Structure 1
């Protein structure tokens, strides 16, 4: 399973209601079993553990998922929104400077 697919799976896990998350976790674990990445007992244990955590402390589970998603995105090199905003600002300034230079050369 490639990194983008894992990221999609993790993001899907982090969004929606508990029932949606539960279904998605089951689908992911079944897919991993089919691909031979984990055995059926590991998949069942993974699903049971995850569902247990969700039921015991849903707020803490959500925070853990957010941290996991953030860490995964950083590991994959996905820039944060603040970094994108900074780059957009720098591009805007550079475009303005180019336009200014072009306007000066036409005078």
Structure 2
């Protein structure tokens, strides 16, 4: 399972949902403008406000998703990249020490 791909797919779903909502609101406000219930400036202000709220909500949701996803991976016991890097470094140092000891024995 590619964790970054899953997170990317979830984020794309969020972006798609935001775009769909924006288009629906634009359609609704366009209709209201045609009916004379709103003037074009009011419609634009309404759309801008809704889009700004959606963007703010999306960034909060993205952060929440990342935290939940990280917690899920921790519960599964999947190590973080920093932990893997640390372990690789330790393995490299141990291999070097082992080679040094082997070289000393053969001299």
- d(CA) in 2 for partners of 1:85 and 1:8? 18
Given that residues 10 and 69 in structure 1 are in contact (C-alpha distance below 8 angstroms), is that contact kept between their aligned partners in structure 2? no
Aligned length: 72
- How far does residue 14 in structure 1 lie from its aligned partner after superposition? 3.9
Unaligned runs of 5+ in 2: 20-52
Residue 58 of structure 2 is matched in structure 1 by 58
TM-score by length of 2: 0.53
Q: Is the 8 A contact 2:11 2:62 kept in 1?
A: yes
Q: Does the alignment pair 1:83 with 2:80?
A: no
**What's the C-alpha RMSD, in Å, of the aligned pairs?**
3.3
Task: Check conservation: 1:14, 1:66, Cα contact below 8 A.
Answer: no
Cα distance between partner residues in 2 of 1:63 and 1:97: 43
> d(CA) in 2 for partners of 1:87 and 1:14?
31
**Structure 1 ranges of 4+ moved more than 3 A:** 7-10, 14-17
Determine whether 1:13 maps to 2:10: yes
* Structure 1 alignment gaps of length 5 or more: 23-53
Larger C-alpha radius of gyration, 1 or 2?
2
CA distance in 2, matches of 1:15, 1:94: 43
**SS of match in other structure, 1:57:** helix
